[in-house]
């Protein structure tokens, strides 16, 4: 219940920020071009808050938080007195109208740069994309990727963390090959060619790199004890730091995960452990303590296992100064724009299935999860959505900004506007296409969460 409330709140905040900036782009340029703005609205439907400023513009927040609009004085829909015709939208030159409409998507790109600039200024806690293993027979195995190698670059994307690896691989969907630059454990740079012509990727079940057979590095955890907590069941039974547990109730123990599972399933029950201490085998009886968890009562010993040392610099804070953060934010925004355009192109060619389209439920979950993970992760998600909103609005569909820009471009080339009749037909077709995409996205959400 609390997760649902958090997701809804995060969704409302995220969409509100994106829409407010997008519409502000239209609003700000319209005012600079001398156009009278009647309404600046974040959200549709009945206003839950509104205020009329001294200049006559009504600022409002609509009850339906799924978009927004800027309504400008326009002779095509308003009765405009002669003295105000010069401040109506339709009376402006094609260049001014183009600038006003283009300013919405541009504002989203500017927002992404600013958000990522802030994110890189704060610093992003992350881990290096070091390969933890390769699934036998996988695409990664065929390319001879090795455990312990660090992924440096995927295609042309700088892969400083796993999110960047994902971004680079997403842009390679539909290609025959993708080049991955790795640094071996000895420090040698190598380029690996992955044959992705038959790559099968289901984003609902796994990440891009997992579908290629690449496992995220996890340090090996041994059955040797690095620490025994004071007054714990393990301490009371006589277990000590350095003990290596080889068996439990006569069952050989090959991994720490196997031992943990047996302990969890034995709350309050006697376990006979075969322990190696200083090269000598010993039998130690222990009764795991009892602890409440989401799945019920589980057992615990109160010990910490010995783990493989982490590679140098494996965990780091990805942070830049003021200038460096701005440059990095701009570069990252450009990378997101390129990948977004590529993905739209691959949707049109069929290289990417329409099942990958996300609706409001998926966006709400993404907003909630990112906000729950921390402020910098929310900023990253916000930048991604802002870029996508800007790119989508530039599509040449008449009901979107891109459709208006297409008409203005034709007007500039022809020297006269496209007829109202042609525009009306195009708007109807565009609205039908956008509605169809919305139905597909919402249907995908329903299939993801209801089944």
220-235, pLDDT tens digit by residue? 889 999 999 999 999 9
**pLDDT tens track for 170-179:** 888 778 888 9
CB 197 within 8 Å of CB 285: no
pLDDT at 133 over 50: yes
| pLDDT (mean) for 133-142 | 90
221-307 matches 124-217+309-318 in CATH topology: yes
Counting residues of the chain whose pLDDT is more than 90, the rounded percentage is 33
- Which tops the pLDDT comparison, 356 or 28? 28
| Three-state SS at 34 | coil
The tokens of 373 are what? 């993970």
List, as own/partner pairs, every contact residues 309-313 make where C-beta atoms lie below 8 angstroms and the sequence separation is at least 24, other chains included. Answer: 309/219, 310/219, 311/128, 311/130, 311/148, 311/150, 311/217, 313/128
Residues 100-106, mean pLDDT to the nearest whole number: 95
Q: Would you say domain 221-307 falls under CATH 2.30.42.10?
A: yes
Residue that has been written with the tokens 């997008």 in this structure? 22
- pLDDT single digits (tens) 407-441: 899 989 888 888 888 888 888 887 788 777 777 66
Q: How far apart are CA 241 and CA 248, in angstroms?
A: 18
**Mean pLDDT calculated for residue range 366-386:** 75
How much is the average pLDDT of 123-146?
A: 88
Q: What is the pLDDT, as a whole number, of residue 21?
A: 93
Band (pLDDT 50/70/90 cuts) for residue 1 is very low
Main-chain phi, psi angles of 310, to 5 degrees: -70, 145
Nearest to 36 by CA among 53, 15, 16: 53
290 noted as active-site residue:
no
Tens digit of each residue's pLDDT (9 = 90 or more) over 261-270: 999 999 999 9
Tell me the per-residue pLDDT of 341-359, one tens digit each, with 9 for 90 and over.
Answer: 888 887 777 666 666 555 5
Q: What is the pLDDT of residue 210?
A: 86
Percent residues over pLDDT 70 in the chain? 89
Catalytic-labelled residue, pool 23, 150, 153, 365: 23
pLDDT averaged over every residue in the chain: 85
Query: Which has more confidence, 377 or 239?
Result: 239
Q: What is the mean pLDDT of residues 278-283?
A: 90
Would you identify the CATH topology of the domain 124-217+309-318?
A: Pdz3 Domain (2.30.42)
Q: Any idea where the domains of the chain sit in the sequence? A: 124-217+309-318, 221-307
Q: Minimal CA–CA distance to 114: which of 329, 275, 416, 418?
A: 329
Average pLDDT over residues 172-191: 86
Check whether 369 has a pLDDT greater than 70.
Answer: no
Distance of CA 205 to the CA centre of its chain: 16
Q: How confident is the model at residue 2 (pLDDT cuts 50, 70, 90)?
A: very low
């Amino acid at each position: 219940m609390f997760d649902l409330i958090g997701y809804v709140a995060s969704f409302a905040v995220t969409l509100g920020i994106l829409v407010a900036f997008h519409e502000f782009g239209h609003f700000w340029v319209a005012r600079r071009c001398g156009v009278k703005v009647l309404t600046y609205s974040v959200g549709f439907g009945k206003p839950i808050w509104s205020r009329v400023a001294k200049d006559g513009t009504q600022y409002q927040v609509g009850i339906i938080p799924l978009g927004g609009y800027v309504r400008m004085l326009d002779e095509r829909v308003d009765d405009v007195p002669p003295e105000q015709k010069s401040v109506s939208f339709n009376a402006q030159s094609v260049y001014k109208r183009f600038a006003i409409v283009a300013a919405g998507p541009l504002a989203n790109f500017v927002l992404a740069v600013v958000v990522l600039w802030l994110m890189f200024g704060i610093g992003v806690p992350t881990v290096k994309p070091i390969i933890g293993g390769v699934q036998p027979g996988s695409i990664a195995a065929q390319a001879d990727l090795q455990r312990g190698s660090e992924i440096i670059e995927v295609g042309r994307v700088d892969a400083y963390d796993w999110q960047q690896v994902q971004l680079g691989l997403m842009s390679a969907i539909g290609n025959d090959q993708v080049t991955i630059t790795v640094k071996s454990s000895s420090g040698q740079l190598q380029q690996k060619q992955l044959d992705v012509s038959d790559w099968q990727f289901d984003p609902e079940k796994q990440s891009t790199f997992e579908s290629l057979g690449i496992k995220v590095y996890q340090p090996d955890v041994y059955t040797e004890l690095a620490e025994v907590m004071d007054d714990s069941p393990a301490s009371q039974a006589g277990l000590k730091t350095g003990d290596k547990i080889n068996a439990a109730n006569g069952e050989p123990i090959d991994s720490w995960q196997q031992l943990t599972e047996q302990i969890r399933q034995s709350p309050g029950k006697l376990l006979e452990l075969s322990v190696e201490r200083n090269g000598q085998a010993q039998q130690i009886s222990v009764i795991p303590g009892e602890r409440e968890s989401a799945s019920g009562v589980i057992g615990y010993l109160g010990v910490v296992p010995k783990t493989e040392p982490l590679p140098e610099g494996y965990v780091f804070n990805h942070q830049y100064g003021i200038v460096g953060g701005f440059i990095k934010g701009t570069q990252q925004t450009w990378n997101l724009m390129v990948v977004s355009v590529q993905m739209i192109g691959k949707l049109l060619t069929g290289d990417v299935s329409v099942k990958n389209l996300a609706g409001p439920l998926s966006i709400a979950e993404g907003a909630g999860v990112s906000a729950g993970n921390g402020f910098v992760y929310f900023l990253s998600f916000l930048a991604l959505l802002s870029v996508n909103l800007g790119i989508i609005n530039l599509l040449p569909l008449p009901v979107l900004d891109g459709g208006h820009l297409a008409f203005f471009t034709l007007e500039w080339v022809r020297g006269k506007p496209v007829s109202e009749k042609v525009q009306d037909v195009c708007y109807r077709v565009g609205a039908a296409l956008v509605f169809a995409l919305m139905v597909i996205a919402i249907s995908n959400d329903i299939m993801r969460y209801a089944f």
